[in-house]
């Protein structure tokens, strides 16, 4: 069942009750005027006591309309019973019957109809015509039944219309809520994407800055030219981080402003060679296993999303190795074929090896591997990571951190 409409204002409620009482009073006066005309012309017998009772019951019955919303059946029955002695109350009886019919409880309506028709018959007996015809009682019965049925139809129509309006209002509110929910979901998805891209981009650059800044902090014996070279790497990567951060956040600017630059294309497998060259130029020992130079060209059917995720997986693997094992060699393997899938493996020793002593561990963000897991699951792939024995360790007791992902590659 539709819910009740919103409660109207106090002024509207007062006006609604006022015009209904005035309408009921107007209908009652029309009825009593007709009875008075019949009495004056000698067609009906009405005593002065009956006329006074008619006015008294009619005046007392009008306030009952104020209770029709709380007890519609009771008010309709009381006003119907009062119409046995008062024609003035007939207007209030009609309003009460219409109000009862809006709820479309047919057993209640039938009971009110029986009382109303019976009351009309009793009124005719108490206020008889002077020269009634043989069929007048039947005509009065049919007329009263038809009149009450018309009032029931009007009330049922009003109730149906109200429910229809409430239904339309609910549909509009539901559509508005669904639209707001879709907008909120789109905003959340966009913010998640931006946060993921910010993490991937900034973690890559900041890890380079941290690694070379650590070299400056711990290697006090470096010659001036080496110090200048390392400081240049720190400066260049800090500037690159700021530039890439501005590009990523550019999507948050208002596109209607007209000054927001278009979002740059995201890197893919075709950019892996540049990623490895940049890592090596910054001092990382990246060892690529298998041919990856032509992988971007061969992966044309891999799909833009999968190719972009593959690039981010390799980038995150290099970033983690740089954060937790700086200067250690990193082995990267990217192999695959259509129909078999794309397998990515990034392996690095757990401990740092190189020019730095054991440095304090960087604060973990906890977002990198979680973001990679979400990326892989979105395209139907698999991701695993953890510590295992390092096959490159000479004593056989070294440990390596292995990041492995499988991405689907349709035939």
For the segment 158-201, what is each residue's pLDDT rounded down to a tens digit? 888 888 888 888 888 888 888 888 877 776 776 676 666 666 66
**Choice among 2-11, 15-24, 84-93 with the minimum mean pLDDT:** 2-11
The answer to whether 76 and 97 are in contact (CB under 8 A) is: yes
The answer to whether 47 and 85 are in contact (CB under 8 A) is: no
Apex CA 46: angle with CA 44 and CA 52, to 5°?
150
- Residue 398: alpha-carbon gap to chain centroid: 52
Question: What pLDDT is recorded for position 361?
Answer: 52
Give the model confidence (pLDDT) of 228-275 as tens digits. 777 777 777 777 777 766 766 665 554 444 454 555 567 888 888 888
Share of residues in the chain with pLDDT > 90 (%): 1
Distances (CA, A) of 231 to 22, 177, 211: 92, 54, 11
The answer to whether 314 and 272 are in contact (CB under 8 A) is: yes
Count of C-beta atoms within a 10 Å radius of residue 146: 10
Beta pairing partners, 342 = 336, 407
Beta pairing partners, 93 = none
Measured CA to CA, the distance from residue 4 to residue 2 in angstroms comes to: 7
- Across the range 346-357, mean pLDDT stands at 67
Measured CA to CA, the distance from residue 84 to residue 68 in angstroms comes to: 20
Give the model confidence (pLDDT) of 282-297 as tens digits. 778 888 876 665 665 5
Domains located in the chain, CATH noted: 10-179 (no CATH), 269-411 (3.30.565.10)
pLDDT level of residue 105 (50, 70, 90 thresholds): confident
Measured CA to CA, the distance from residue 51 to residue 339 in angstroms comes to: 100
Phi, psi (degrees; rounded to nearest 5) at 323: -75, -45
Apex CA 179: angle with CA 177 and CA 185, to 5°?
100
Return the closest-CA partner of residue 247 out of 234, 265, 233, 232.
265
Residue given tokens 């005309």 in the structure block: 37
The answer to whether 109 and 152 are in contact (CB under 8 A) is: yes
Question: What pLDDT is recorded for position 201?
Answer: 66
Contacts of 381 by beta carbon, 8 Å cutoff, 6+ apart: 306, 309, 341, 405, 406, 407, 408
Which of 15-19, 261-265, 386-390, 404-408 is modeled with the greatest confidence?
Answer: 404-408
**Choice among 135-149, 244-258, 271-285, 317-331 with the minimum mean pLDDT:** 244-258
Question: What pLDDT is recorded for position 200?
Answer: 67
Contacts of 251 by beta carbon, 8 Å cutoff, 6+ apart: 190, 194, 263
């Amino acid at each position: 069942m539709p819910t009740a409409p919103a409660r109207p204002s106090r002024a509207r409620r007062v006006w609604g009750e006022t015009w209904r009482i005035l309408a009921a009073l107007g209908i009652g006066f029309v009825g009593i005027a007709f009875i008075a005309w019949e009495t004056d012309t000698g067609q009906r017998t009405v005593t002065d006591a009956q006329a006074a009772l008619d006015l008294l019951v009619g005046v007392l019955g009008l306030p009952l309309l104020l209770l029709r919303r709380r007890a519609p059946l009771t008010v309709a029955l009381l006003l119907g019973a009062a119409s046995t002695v008062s024609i003035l109350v007939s207007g209030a009886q009609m309003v009460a019957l219409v109000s009862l019919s809006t709820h479309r409880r047919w057993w209640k309506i039938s009971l009110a109809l029986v009382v109303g028709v019976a009351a009309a018959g009793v009124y005719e007996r108490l206020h008889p015509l002077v020269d009634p015809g043989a069929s007048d009682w039947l005509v009065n019965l049919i007329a009263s039944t038809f009149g009450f049925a018309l009032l029931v139809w009007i009330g049922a129509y009003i109730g149906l219309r109200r429910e229809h309006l409430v239904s339309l209002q609910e549909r509009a509110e539901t559509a508005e809520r669904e639209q707001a929910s879709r907008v909120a979901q789109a905003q959340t998805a966009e913010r998640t994407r931006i946060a993921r891209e910010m993490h991937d981009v900034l973690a890559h650059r900041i890890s380079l800055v941290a690694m070379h800044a650590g070299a400056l902090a711990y290697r006090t014996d470096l010659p001036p030219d080496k110090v200048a070279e390392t400081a240049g790497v720190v400066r260049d990567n800090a500037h690159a981080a700021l530039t890439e951060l501005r590009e990523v956040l550019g999507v948050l600017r208002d596109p209607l402003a007209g000054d927001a630059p278009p979002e740059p294309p995201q890197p893919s497998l075709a950019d892996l060679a540049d990623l490895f060259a940049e890592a090596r130029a910054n001092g990382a020992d990246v060892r690529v296993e298998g041919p990856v130079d032509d992988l971007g060209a061969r992966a044309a059917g891999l799909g833009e999303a999968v190719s972009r995720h593959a690039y981010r997986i390799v980038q995150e693997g290099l970033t983690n190795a740089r954060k937790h094992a700086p200067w250690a060699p990193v082995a990267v393997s990217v192999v695959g074929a259509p129909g078999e899938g794309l397998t990515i493996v990034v392996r690095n020793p757990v401990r740092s090896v190189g020019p730095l002593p054991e440095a304090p561990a960087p604060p973990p963000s906890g977002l990198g591997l979680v973001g990679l897991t979400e990326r892989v699951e979105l395209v139907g792939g698999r991701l695993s990571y953890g510590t295992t024995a390092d096959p490159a360790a000479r004593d056989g007791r070294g440990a390596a951190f292995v990041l492995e992902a499988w991405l689907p590659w349709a035939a």
